[in-house]
Structure 1
Amino acid sequence: MASSPLTGRAASRLPIFRQALASLSAGLLLAASTAHAAPPVLQAQAQGKEVPQLADLVDMVGPAVVNIRTTERSADGPRMPFRRRAPSLQQSDEVPRGEGSGFIMSPDGYVMTNAHVIAGASEVYVTMTDKREFKARIIGADERTDVAVVKIDATGLPWMRVGDVNRLRVGEWVLAIGSPFGFDNTVTAGIVSAKQRETGSELPLLQTDVAVNPGNSGGPLINMRGEVVGVNSQIYSPVGSYVGISFAIPIDEAIRVSDQLKAGGRVVRGYLGIRPVEVSREAAEEYGLTKSRNRGAFVSQVIAGGPADKAGLQPGDIVLALNGKPVDGPVELRRALGAIKPGTPVVLQVNRRGKAMEIKATLAEMPSEAPAASTPERAEPAEPKGSSVGKAWGLTVQPLSDAERRATRGAGGVKVAGVTAGAEAVGMRPGDIIIAVGSTDVTDLKQFENALAPLDKNKRLSLTFLRGEWAQFVQVPPGK
């Protein structure tokens, strides 16, 4: 039998510690009563306001929180050393895989958790606070949002009420219940630190300072009304365990995903067929977007044959609005497109090298795996030949071949034959295709020469170019 963490000298000091803590508490209360302004909790008591009792809250919602453990199949058979220590698995080829948390969504046995909790599992087991254990069936999992739903065969179960995330305020008390490091039914509490926190995930997250550790994943984040407002999902930590920052999936987004999982086992998203990235400050200045309230999204790639390609969207375009709603960056654009039903027509407000235009497209269904990005291959340095009109910036260019022109899907341009000085310094390579100078589109060598002719050769040259299917914007300094 494992020994208690409090043994020997530590246990003997426990009464002394409690006595010191009681004295400290009394001193703090005395100081608060004589201070100019009492802390908010004491003010609430003085004014007759009821302070939330976490113990009562835990009693109310705790039975709806479950432990989730998963197993996976082993190729080694039942003679593994681990099975000799676990008689219940001796006749099985299943070995423990992981452990997490979840909560019951409805009395008929639907349980919500994280997708990463059940990923790769061959069997899922749900254990309730009364120690009843059920073998669960996986209804569906969505890796993009990290939401999953499993089902147990039971009725009349305790279930979690859903709260309104819009009513949740920064600074509001919340608590988490889960199984950190396998310790079932562990309760931790804290406050909401931020809402709509961007972490690069498919969804903006709730940030809290509630202690969340491995095993808490999939458990509920609960407000003081006993309602679930989030699904604990991530922590920010350089060491792999809690250091003060944790994140939860907002419950309204989790419910939206779970409804689709329950209906069809998967989430269907709209797909435009582009790869958006941040708009650089230099590009925003060049195309007159610095006074715009929304940042937009720079189209770095248009997937061949996709809806955007068919609609005429080009690499290098900047999407400013979707169906009239401003786009504040690439993450927001991806989320907005994903939330639209496939087959739906959309209208894009686009800035193409300083010119405003409107493009209409019909969304397809997002593939389960995004098309593999083509990796631009580094071209062998060519013998610099062709026009040297760009030599002040270290550029030698030449006309496109017919095949190269077709590959640009109508954009045209000129091919970089050689780079030195400024062009080399900003990473341009032979084989890159320049499609615009500043806000002027370039379809052939003549247009490129005309665009450069009036420019000050002692100032930076703004270029949009293609490398393979990828568009980039750079400002090339003049050579020294």
Structure 2
Amino acid sequence: MKNNLKKLIPYAFVGVISGATTFGAINYFGVKNHDSEFSYFAPKKNTDASFASFNMAGVGDDFVKAAKMTVPAVVSIKNFSNRTSQRSDQDLFDLFFGNPFGNNQRQPQQQPQQEMPRGMGSGVIISPDGYIISNNHVIAGATKLEVQLSNKKTYVANLVGTDPTTDIALLKIEEKGLPYLNFANSDNVEVGQWVLAVGNPMGLNSTVTAGIVSAKGRSIDLLSQQSRTPIENFIQTDAAINPGNSGGALVNPNGELIGINSAISSKTGYYEGYGFAVPSNLARKVVEDIKKFGLVQRGFLGVRSLDLSDTRQVAQYNQQNKTNIKANEGVYITDVTAKGGAEDAGLRPGDIITKVDNTVISNYYDLSFAVGSKRPGDKVAVTYLRNGKENTTNVTLKDEKGNTTFRSKADLSVTEKIGAEFEPLSEKFKTDYGLTSGVIAKNVLDGSEMAKIGIVDNYIVIEINGKPVNSQKDVEKILDKYQGNVQVKYVDDFGRITTRGFKMP
């Protein structure tokens, strides 16, 4: 017995020394160092370590393969914009009350323009000839887009097209033989399956994080900030996503693209466990449309609606219209567009849409995705309740102009091309503020030509190409079939007059 104890003493000594060393290392490397940006963690028990190793071995191999396939196809995108412009030296007092020295307008002073980095994001190469998919909010307002590959080679990218409704943008660089990712069928994604998020968070290039699909079909009311008809059907994941990941890849263990990382849910602006990606099927449809037609072909049902799942919205509607509609699942039709697809198919106000084809409609975002992911001319089966009875009708979708055919950029109206609408100023307003012309900018789309030159909702456009404008018709008349540079003189909400330009798309 004594001999056996003697034999065990060296092993016990080694164990004590190893344990003390591990304990010291844990303390030294940050478990107690809460001020450190990076922390190191160790399992509390040996059983924890071996359990993790046993379960993660196969998955880890898949992650390595997927990462090797994905990282070379994910790029960093730097957004540059002109931060200064040609601005007159008028201030609020001068504009509204006149120059006290009798000089009504001072000569504009040319300020030096300098391209400054506005932000950084990520993108995914989707073809060997240089097409790159990213987020609309990554490229919004850019005068130059710089793309850097994982091998540090840089290019200036051309913006092919954007879709604020889904937050997708398509870029192109001039190169061949590039690594790229294939789109997977996002309808086959399952909650609980492993995924990798690849991007450039906080300037850390080619970063890979792992997690699972936490949920599908999420709407977080994010895109309504940049689109009047947002389509949100996000894949939710707990793979770490941070600022700079936007536009990056969400892939399955086979290295196939199942989503484009777009947003996080966070009180701090950094990862707190919830990230969201545009599903690949929707992103692919948008990209195909932009490549083929120059713009997205989107079908519309032709209804105005009330989201019955939104109790606050239902209560407000009841109060305003003195109705007693009950909150529930589904979408309540409040009005139908004249000669729209819904009216043609016999839908009418008061009907409750519960299903489109095989998609159950629980809320507005379900409906916008089911319809908005299709094209004009497509037919959908709409199931609805009327007086408590279930009915189904086939609806032929149309675009916003009531057409069932595809349109190209050449078919767009002037306001669609420049991304804004305009309302006339009242004569009293002009008199009160000493203006002889002007229209109010409305529904300015993020990333549009008007937005790029600094115009937002409620700014006043005074002149276009040196001609006064007093109505939307004036704007359309000046720019209809116009090609070349456009000069816009406008007043911001501080009363400053600015003149800036863009090339007519």
Q: TM-score range by the shorter chain?
A: 0.5 to 0.7
Other-structure match for 1:209: 238
2:310 equivalent to 1:301? no
- After superposition, residues 296-335 of structure 1 pair within 5 angstroms as 296-304=330-338, 306-309=340-343, 313-322=347-356, 327-335=361-369
CA shift, 1:136, in A, is 0.6
Whole-Å separation in 2 of the counterparts to 1:130 and 1:105: 17
2:167 equivalent to 1:133? no
CA shift, 1:262, in A, is 1.3
1:288-310, CA deviations, whole angstroms, 9 ceiling, x for partnerless residues? Answer: 999xxx94320123345544456
Other-structure match for 2:301: 272
- Cα gap change, 1:14 to 1:95, in 2 (>3 Å): farther
- After superposition, residues 211-360 of structure 1 pair within 5 angstroms as 211-279=240-308, 295-304=329-338, 306-309=340-343, 313-322=347-356, 327-344=361-378, 348-354=382-388
Whole-Å separation in 2 of the counterparts to 1:28 and 1:52: 24
- Cα gap change, 1:42 to 1:159, in 2 (>3 Å): same
- Aligned with residue 61 of structure 1, among 50, 61, 70: 70
Unpaired segments ≥5 residues, structure 2: 1-23, 33-39, 87-110, 222-229, 316-322, 402-411, 422-505
- Cα gap change, 1:299 to 1:59, in 2 (>3 Å): same
Whole-Å separation in 2 of the counterparts to 1:169 and 1:266: 31
Contact 1:268/1:366 (<8 A) preserved: no
TM-score, normalised relative to structure 1? 0.59
- Cα gap change, 1:364 to 1:30, in 2 (>3 Å): closer
Contact 1:141/1:265 (<8 A) preserved: no
Whole-Å separation in 1 of the counterparts to 2:209 and 2:191: 18
- Cα gap change, 1:363 to 1:165, in 2 (>3 Å): closer
1:358-388, CA deviations, whole angstroms, 9 ceiling, x for partnerless residues? Answer: 666543213697999xxxxxxxxxxxxxxxx
CA RMSD of aligned residues (A): 4.0
1:199-226, CA deviations, whole angstroms, 9 ceiling, x for partnerless residues? Answer: 3461321111122111110000122222
Letter in 1 for 2:253: M
Whole-Å separation in 2 of the counterparts to 1:324 and 1:65: 34
CA shift, 1:174, in A, is 2.1
Contact 2:70/2:255 (<8 A) preserved: yes
Unpaired segments ≥5 residues, structure 1: 1-12, 78-89, 373-480
CA shift, 1:118, in A, is 0.8
Contact 1:72/1:122 (<8 A) preserved: yes
Contact 2:238/2:273 (<8 A) preserved: yes
- Aligned with residue 216 of structure 2, among 195, 198, 215: 195
Contact 2:62/2:254 (<8 A) preserved: no
Letter in 2 for 1:181: M
Contact 1:287/1:353 (<8 A) preserved: no
Q: Bigger shift: 157-166 or 201-210?
A: 157-166
Secondary structure class of the residue paired with 1:299:
strand
Letter in 2 for 1:255: R
Other-structure match for 1:29: 46
- Cα gap change, 1:147 to 1:350, in 2 (>3 Å): same
- Cα gap change, 1:211 to 1:92, in 2 (>3 Å): same
Contact 1:287/1:354 (<8 A) preserved: no
Secondary structure class of the residue paired with 2:176:
coil
CA shift, 1:316, in A, is 2.2
Larger Rg: 1
Other-structure match for 1:179: 200
Whole-Å separation in 1 of the counterparts to 2:139 and 2:262: 13
CA shift, 1:27, in A, is 5.8
Q: Bigger shift: 307-316 or 146-155?
A: 307-316
The number of aligned residues is 334
Contact 2:236/2:274 (<8 A) preserved: yes
1:56-94, CA deviations, whole angstroms, 9 ceiling, x for partnerless residues? Answer: 5434421111100111223347xxxxxxxxxxxx99632
Secondary structure class of the residue paired with 2:123:
strand
1:121-180, CA deviations, whole angstroms, 9 ceiling, x for partnerless residues? Answer: 121111112211111111111111111110000001111233343454333332222222
Q: Bigger shift: 339-348 or 184-193?
A: 339-348
Whole-Å separation in 2 of the counterparts to 1:66 and 1:220: 10
CA shift, 1:350, in A, is 4.1
Other-structure match for 1:17: 28
